[in-house]
């Protein structure tokens, strides 16, 4: 069984991942309303990915005998000034999640919870990719904020899903 302090912190992270799901859903709706289907598709996919991350954490707790306690989450930001604001928010969110995952690793190490530390290794790799993707997307959206077609073309060409990762943890319910 994972260390109690780790279980508590991982349950909080489940809430953070579900909040990220809702935030990305709000971003997708924003771009859908602007008739930017590529950006909308990208953020709908990001929302599902965040939900999957939460369910990977749920499955880990179930597999290891940890208690699952899905926390309440705040409503997402759903109104944006322009096409740049949602991506700025997404990058801030990914940096915050990176800090949260790193804090989980520290807790696992402090508690000598080696299985939990190993479980988190995939999430560390994932966060490097997420921050890089959002950093690049922010640069493109900022540079092309007055040319929505260029943004759409970039997303269609560069920001597509690469498929499933066979090294990813199992998703609860899948």
Q: Of 1, 14, 58, give the one whose Cα is nearest residue 174.
A: 58
pLDDT for 162 equals: 60
Average pLDDT in the chain: 95
The mean pLDDT of 80-101, rounded to a whole number, is: 98
Question: Is the pLDDT assigned to residue 165 strictly greater than 80?
Answer: no
pLDDT for 171 equals: 86
pLDDT for 160 equals: 62
First to last CA, the chain: 22
Candidate from 67-71, 119-123, 170-174 with smallest mean pLDDT: 170-174
The upper half-sphere exposure of residue 99, i.e. CA atoms within 13 Å in the direction of its Cβ, equals 6
pTM for this model (two decimals): 0.92
Domain 4-158, classified CATH 1.10.10.10, yes or no: no
Split at pLDDT 50, 70, 90, the class of 163 is low
pLDDT for 169 equals: 87
Split at pLDDT 50, 70, 90, the class of 82 is very high
CA angle 40, 20, 10 (to 5 degrees): 150
Q: Where are the domains of the chain?
A: 4-158
The mean pLDDT of 40-64, rounded to a whole number, is: 97
Question: How many whole angstroms separate alpha carbon 30 and alpha carbon 13?
Answer: 25
Q: Of 22, 10, 24, give the one whose Cα is nearest residue 123.
A: 10
Question: How many whole angstroms separate alpha carbon 126 and alpha carbon 141?
Answer: 22
What φ, ψ does residue 53 adopt, rounded to 5°?
-60, -45
The mean pLDDT of 83-95, rounded to a whole number, is: 98
Split at pLDDT 50, 70, 90, the class of 161 is low
Across 67-103, b (16+ Cβ under 10 Å) vs e yields eeeeeebeebeeebeebbebbbbbbebbeebbebbee
């Amino acid at each position: 069984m994972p260390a109690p302090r780790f279980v508590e912190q991982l349950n909080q992270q489940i809430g953070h991942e579900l909040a990220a799901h809702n935030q990305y859903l709000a971003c997708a709706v924003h771009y859908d309303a602007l008739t930017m289907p590529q950006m909308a598709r990208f953020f709908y996919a990001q929302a599902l990915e965040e939900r999957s991350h939460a369910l990977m954490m749920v499955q880990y707790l179930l597999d290891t005998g940890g208690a699952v306690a899905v926390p309440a989450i705040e409503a997402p930001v759903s109104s944006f000034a322009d096409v740049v604001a949602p991506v700025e928010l997404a990058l801030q969110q990914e940096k915050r999640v990176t800090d949260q995952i790193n804090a989980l690793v520290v807790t696992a190490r402090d508690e000598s919870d080696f299985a939990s530390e190993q479980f988190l290794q995939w999430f560390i790799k994932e966060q490097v990719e997420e921050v890089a993707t959002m950093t690049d997307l922010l640069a493109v959206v900022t540079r092309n904020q007055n040319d929505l077609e260029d943004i759409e073309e970039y997303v269609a060409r560069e920001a597509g899903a690469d498929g499933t990762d066979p090294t990813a943890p199992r998703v609860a319910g899948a």
